[in-house]
Amino acid sequence: MSLEQHYSAILSQLGEDVTREGLVDTPKRAAKAMQYLCRGYQQTLDEIVNGALFSSDNSEMVLVKDIELYSLCEHHLLPFIGKAHVAYIPNGKVLGLSKVARIVDMYARRLQIQENMSRQIAEAVQQVTGALGVAVVIEAKHMCMMMRGVEKQNSSMVTSVMLGEFRDNAATRSEFLSLIR
């Protein structure tokens, strides 16, 4: 069965009349939307970075703040939406400006839990740049908490992963944390 046919079956199971006008093309649209929201499965780190790695003797922290993030939780297939802050300390190489955001996107466009996604992003940046340290903080609101379950509208979840210098050096870590505050 195609994704489209599965969506049609889901709508029937929910009690809908899948032949009514408003729903005629819904299974097709839903399938397309879901494929878009999960397109990260079709991408690889190599293809995303595409050689945009440049020599640099800068050894100061590089920080990309407030990267918008849209993902789906793997437990309920409901969206979680937020921001990622990613920093690294170069060790001879820096990444092209837009690449950090594209790495975040590649992992966000998969079924995720926020903790794992934070770690995957940090490890990817580490792997690509060979940085002396990588820090990732993600703040997000989860529709599975807001629309169902405990229905808490204002709680957001914060996860962080610190690698290398950010883990071992308290001053580096607190510089990062004060820059994203």
What is the DSSP secondary structure assignment for residue 148, as one 8-state letter? Answer: S
Task: Point out the catalytic residue in the list 73, 112, 120, 126.
Answer: 73
CB of 114 to Zn ion, least distance (A): 10
Q: Is 3 in the site for Zn ion (CB under 5 A)?
A: no
Other beta carbons within 10 angstroms of residue 69's beta carbon come to 23
Query: How many CB atoms within 10 Å of residue 53?
Result: 16
Phi, psi of 157 (to 5 degrees): -105, 140
Among 6, 28, 76, 167, binds Zn ion (CB under 5 A): 76
Strand partners, 80: 71, 142
The one catalytic residue in 112, 114, 120, 126 is: 114
Q: Which of 124, 67, 70 is nearest to 95 (CA)?
A: 124
Q: Which stretch binds Zn ion (CB under 5 A): 11-19, 92-100, 141-149, 162-170?
A: 141-149
Geometric angle at alpha carbon 73, from 69 and 74, rounded to 5°: 135
Residues within window 55-74 making contact with Zn ion, judged by CB under 5 A: 73
Q: How far is the CB of 11 from Zn ion (least distance, A)?
A: 21
Q: Confirm or deny that 6 is annotated as ligand binding.
A: no
Residue from the set 31, 144, 177, 180 that interacts with Zn ion by CB under 5 A: 144
Residue 38 in marked binding region: no
Point out which residues bind Zn ion (CB under 5 A): 73, 75-76, 144
